[in-house]
């Protein structure tokens, strides 16, 4: 009975380039910030970690563990998300006088962001793979929840004041999971 809906939802969360679970990328491109790195693996007798400079992202450590390399990439993504998304949220908050209490960067599997009743905004690090316009919309959407903790007409009216193209950007975001590589999700 619900087969079409299930198939649509499964397709929505499938990456455009599937890739194997432990397959590491050759390059990483964060559309939100425009940053791009060529990924290099260097064998060393230390815990796996990522170091970025000069357009290269070096994964340094025991190369026999692809899961350790993936985790190092995920840590790098989380740190970069904090460095990129938090200042943008703070800027939009000040610009539109929509204060929030605190921000968290997480790796949710089905949500791009949320706002708690206490004003804590949680953002998904995978937003880095979205366009700057979509990220801006999502940040404004969550900031609007600091005033309206629902999706009422008043909430959407505020969102429309903040971002007149919200419908188009929301539609783009609903397919945004297809832009997220497999290594970032698992």
Q: For 92-112, how does the pLDDT look when each residue is reduced to its tens digit (9 = 90+)?
A: 999 999 999 999 999 988 899
pLDDT score, position 14: 61
> What is the distance between the alpha carbons of residues 43 and 54, in angstroms, rounded to a whole number?
20
Residues 6+ apart with CB under 8 A from 76: 50, 52, 57
If phi > 0 it is left, if psi is from -120 to 50 it is alpha, else beta; for residue 79 that is: alpha
At residue 21, the pLDDT reads 52
pLDDT surpasses 80 at 8: no
Q: What is the DSSP letter of 34?
A: T
Buried-state track 89-115, b at ≥16 Cβ within 10 A, e below 16: beebbeebebebeebebeeeeeebbeb
pLDDT in tens, 16-38: 555 545 578 999 999 999 999 99
- Cβ neighbors of 185 (< 8 A, separation 6 or more) are 15, 107, 109, 126
Percent of the chain beyond pLDDT 90?
75
- Who's near 14: CB < 8 A, 6+ residues apart? 177, 178
**H helices then E strands: how many in the chain?**
6, 7
Q: What is the pLDDT of residue 147?
A: 96
Does residue 136 have a pLDDT over 90?
Answer: yes
Residue 158 pLDDT class (50, 70, 90 cuts): very high
Whole-structure pTM value? 0.86
Q: What are phi and psi of 87, to 5 degrees?
A: -60, -35
């Amino acid at each position: 009975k619900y087969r079409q809906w299930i198939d649509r939802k499964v397709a929505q969360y499938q990456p455009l380039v599937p890739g194997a679970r432990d397959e590491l990328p050759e390059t990483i491109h964060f559309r939100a910030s425009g940053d791009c790195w060529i990924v290099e693996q260097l064998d060393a007798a230390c815990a796996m970690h990522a170091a970025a400079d000069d357009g290269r992202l070096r994964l340094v450590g025991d190369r026999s563990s692809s899961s350790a390399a993936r985790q190092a990439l995920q840590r790098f993504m989380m740190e970069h998300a904090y460095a990129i998304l938090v200042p943008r949220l703070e800027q939009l908050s000040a610009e539109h006088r929509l204060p929030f209490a605190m921000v968290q960067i997480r790796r949710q599997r089905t949500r791009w962001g949320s706002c708690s009743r206490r004003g804590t905004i949680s953002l998904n690090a995978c937003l880095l793979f979205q366009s700057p316009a979509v990220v801006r919309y999502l940040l404004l959407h969550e900031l609007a929840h600091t005033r309206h903790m629902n999706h009422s007409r008043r909430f959407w009216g505020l969102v429309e004041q903040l971002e007149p193209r919200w419908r188009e950007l929301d539609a783009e975001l609903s397919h945004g999971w297809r832009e997220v590589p497999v290594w970032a999700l698992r």
